[in-house]
């Protein structure tokens, strides 16, 4: 099932971790034809780069525990497509 990107994120915080909004990040990497952008902090946007979203979330979970804990905390209790992906990656173990 394709992801419904219609959820409207707050424009004053990073959609990934809740940090300060500084960039628009393409959910599907620009290099892969990404057109849908969401607000992000520079740390998330620059680290994600051209990685796919689930690939990046798995990388953060396995290599950047402080950021991963912040992402999971930010999405705790939220019900949107991004939170669903975060919870899927969290629950893989």
For 48-63, write each residue's pLDDT tens digit: 998 989 999 999 999 9
pLDDT the model gives residue 33: 76
- Report residues of the chain scoring pLDDT below 50: none
pTM here is 0.86
Backbone angles phi and psi of 44, in degrees to 5: -65, -45
Q: Is residue 30 part of a domain?
A: yes
Q: Is residue 48 part of a domain?
A: yes
* C-alpha of 9 from chain center: 11
Q: Is residue 2 part of a domain?
A: no
Instruction: Tell me how far apart the alpha carbons of residues 47 and 59 are, in angstroms, rounded to a whole number.
Output: 10
Residue 19 three-state SS: coil
Instruction: Tell me how far apart the alpha carbons of residues 6 and 71 are, in angstroms, rounded to a whole number.
Output: 20
* C-alpha of 64 from chain center: 14
Instruction: Tell me how far apart the alpha carbons of residues 24 and 12 are, in angstroms, rounded to a whole number.
Output: 11
Q: Which domain holds residue 80?
A: 23-90
């Amino acid at each position: 099932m394709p992801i419904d990107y219609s959820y409207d994120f707050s424009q004053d915080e990073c959609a990934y971790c809740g940090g300060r909004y500084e960039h628009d990040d393409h959910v599907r990497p620009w290099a892969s034809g990404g057109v849908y952008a969401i607000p992000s902090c520079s740390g998330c946007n620059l680290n994600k780069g051209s990685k796919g979203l689930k690939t990046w979330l798995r990388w953060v979970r396995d290599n950047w525990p402080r950021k991963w804990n912040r992402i999971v905390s930010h999405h705790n209790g939220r019900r949107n497509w991004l939170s669903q992906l975060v919870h899927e990656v969290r629950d893989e173990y």
